[in-house]
Amino acid sequence: MSEPDSGPARQRLDKWLWHARFFKTRTLAAKVVTEGRVRLGGEKVVKPAQPVGAGDVLTFPAGERVRVVEIKAILDRRGPASEAQAAYDDHSPAPVPRVGPRPTGRDRRRLDAARDDS
C-alpha cells in the first residue's frame, strides 16, 4: 500500500479561490482562470485544476481592481468570511479614490461654456 503524501498541502486553484470567497461560485472562479486572467507567481494560468499551496502568490481581477494575495493556508470548506480572510495575506494596491460624483446637467453646460470661451 502507498503511504499518504507527506508533502505540502495542495488544492485546485478554482476551488481555493471559491473557498477564500473571491468568487460567488466555483464556476465563476474556473471561468476567470480559463480566460487566462489569473497569474500564479507571475505566470499566466489557464487550467482551473492547477494545484496551489501555502506561499503561492496569486494576481487576478476582482471587480474594478486587481487583487494580489499570498496563500497562507489551504481551506477544507467555504466557511465564514473571517475564516476565509485568515487564509491569505492581501498585498493588493490601494483602490483608486473616485474623483467625485458625476457632473449634473447644469455643471456640464458650464463646462461646455467654459471650453467654448477658450
With 0-12 / 13-18 / 19 or more C-beta atoms within 10 angstroms meaning exposed / middle / buried, residue 71 is: buried
Domain ranges of the chain: 10-117
Rounded distance between C-alpha atoms, residue 95 and residue 10, angstroms: 30
Angle formed at CA 68 by CA 26 and CA 10, multiple of 5 degrees: 55
Q: Which three cell numbers stand for residue 84?
A: 476565509
Give the pLDDT confidence of 78-94 residue by residue, as tens digits: 999 999 999 999 999 98
- Among residues 32, 35, 10, 36, which one has the least CA distance to residue 22? 32
Fold of 10-117: 3.10.290
Tell me what pLDDT residue 1 has. Answer: 47
In tens, the pLDDT along 14-59 reads 999 999 999 999 999 999 999 999 999 999 999 999 999 999 999 9
Stated pTM of the model: 0.77
